[in-house]
Structure 1
Amino acid sequence: MKQWLKKFRERAEALEKEACVLVQAYRHPRTPWYARALAVLVLAHTFSPIDLIPDFIPVLGVLDDWIITPLGIALVIRLIPPEVMAEARRQVEENGSASPALRRLGAALVILLWLVVLVWLGRALGLGMKSGGT
């Protein structure tokens, strides 16, 4: 059990480091626009203190963290040129990890996404306010 926990912790640290590398790669001028767009979503999800799917929701809450983050990071890495990723890794080794501002941005994007979903559900279920009434 201790070995499993140690391996899990190492993998989580590696994912966080790769996410920090993506922050650096995002800022690079040779990163394609579509990789940047996806990177914003993946990084917001990864660094947000608020989960997209709360952990108390059985199965889905955990899958959110264990599947979406690693797959999203892997996909963005594939979209960025290897030389840009190498330079970004070098920068992270020299400078360290993500800033608190990135964590706040992630939280804001997750809150915004939930608000959009709630408004959409409200309209779909007919719970929206009717306008122009007399």
Structure 2
Amino acid sequence: MRFLQAIRVWAKKIKRDSVTLWFAEKHPRTPKLIKFLGMFVVAYALSPIDLIPDFIPVLGYLDDVILLPALIWLTVKLLPMDILIVCQQQADDWMQEKQAKPASRWGIVFVVSVWAVTAVVLWNWVSF
């Protein structure tokens, strides 16, 4: 039971950190490189579509379990502490008020674009 509880706490922290990055991206003092990385991570984290669909055995959950949490952790660690504290508080308040995480249209555009480019490359490779 303790293991399951630890997983739940970890999942809530990851969810909160993705919303924290959403607020950090809008913060005027967030450094440009971290802002860019944060925009990428948030767009993908909040996208309702996965880059690797979950129905693909093992690989489908790879991005949800390893890749995405690692990117969120890295971006949060790169944020200056004062900005991180402010954005975490904003994320906590927002999540408590809305009881949900935001959605990202840019995340959908990103994932669909990657799939479209992959399809075109594969089509060209197979047809020649």
- After TM superposition, the score normalised by the length of structure 2 is 0.83
RMSD after superposition = 2.0
Question: What's the CA shift string for 1:57-106, capped at 9, x where partnerless?
Answer: 22211111111111101111122211111110121233326423x2x332
8 Å Cα contact 1:24/1:92 also seen in 2: yes
What residue ranges of structure 2 are gaps of 5+ in the alignment?
A: none
Partner residue, 2:23: 24
Partner residue, 1:75: 74
Partner residue, 1:8: 7
- After TM superposition, give the deviation of residue 108 of structure 1 in Å: 2.3
- After TM superposition, give the deviation of residue 126 of structure 1 in Å: 5.2
Distance, in Å, in 1 between the alignment partners of 2:16 and 2:82 is 17
Counterpart secondary structure, 2:53? coil
Partner residue, 2:61: 62
- After TM superposition, give the deviation of residue 34 of structure 1 in Å: 1.4
- Greater shift in the superposed pair: 86-95 or 19-28: 86-95
- After TM superposition, the score normalised by the length of structure 1 is 0.80
Partner residue, 2:48: 49
Q: How many residues align?
A: 124
What residue ranges of structure 1 are gaps of 5+ in the alignment?
A: 129-134
Identity %: 35
Partner residue, 1:99: 102
